Amino acid sequence: MFKPLDPLLHSQLRLAVMSLLIGVEEAEFTFLREKTESTAGNLSVQLDKLEKAGYIGIEKSFKGKRPLTTCKITKVGLKAFEEYVENLRNYIE
Amino acid sequence: MFKPLDPLLHSQLRLAVMSLLIGVEEAEFTFLREKTESTAGNLSVQLDKLEKAGYIGIEKSFKGKRPLTTCKITKVGLKAFEEYVENLRNYIE
DNA sequence: TAAATAGGTTTATGATATAAACTATTTTAA
DNA sequence: TTAAAATAGTTTATATCATAAACCTATTTA
C-alpha cells in the first residue's frame, strides 16, 4: 500500500533539482540556484548527496575565467525519480 | 514555480496517516498502525504533531476495557493536504 | 588598490524522524 | 492464581538531515 519513499528524493530541494534536471540536457549550478531559490550552501550540499548516490553527474570546468559547475541526471537518477513518483502517488491519490 | 512544501505533511508517515484519514470517517490508532506499518511510538509522536497543527482531531475513549484512540481529519487538515498535493505536483509532473 | 561580486565549499546548529525503552492494563496459560 | 504474554499506547534517546552562516578564492569594478 504505502511503499517507502526514497529518502534521498523525499527532500524539497533535492526533489526540485531532480525535477529541473529531468527537463534539460544539463544545468549550471547558478541556474539551479535561481530556479530553486535556494542558498548556494544548501544547494552545494544537496548536489553532493545526489552525486554520491549516483543520481546526478557533476562536472567542474570554467566559463571564461570563472568556475562552472554543471549537473546532469543519470539513468539511475531518472529511474529512482520515476519510482519515487510512482510510490508517492499511493499517498496522494 | 516550486512552492514550499508544508513540512508537516512532507513526511512519509504523517502523509500516509493523512492519506488514510481522508478516505474514512474516522480511524483507530491500531488501524493506522497496521496500514502504515509503523511502530506505535513513531505513530504516537506523529499523530501528536498533526493534532497540534490542527490537522486531525484525536479522541481517547475505551473499547470494552481497553484504551481506544480515534483520529479524524479536520477541515484545516484537509485543506492543508490538498494544498500540499497541489504544490507537490509542480515537482513531479 | 580597495571594495564588491561571482561561484562556490565547509561548518555549525537546530529540527526531525525513528526506534527503543517504558507504563499500565488485560488476557491467557500452567 | 499467578506468571507470562499481549494490548494499547507514551516518553525518551539518538542519529540523521536540511538549512543557513561563515568562509574561501578569484575576478571585476569604482
Q: CB less than 7 Å from strand D: which protein residues?
A: A 7, 11-14, 38-42, 45-46, 49, 64-66; B 28-30, 39-41, 43-45, 47, 60, 63, 66-69
* CB within 8 Å of chain A, chain B residues 32-91: 35-37, 85, 88, 90-91
Is the predicted pLDDT of residue B79 greater than 90, yes or no? yes
Mean pLDDT of chain B: 97
In whole angstroms, give the CA distance from residue A86 to residue B44. 27
pLDDT, tens only, A20-42: 999 999 999 999 999 999 999 99
Entry pTM: 0.94
What pLDDT digit, counting tens, does each position of A2-18 carry? 999 999 999 999 999 99
Question: Mapped to the 3 state alphabet, what secondary structure does B6-57 carry?
Answer: CCCCCCHHHHHHHHHHHCCCCEEHHHHHHHHCCCHHHHHHHHHHHHHCCCEE
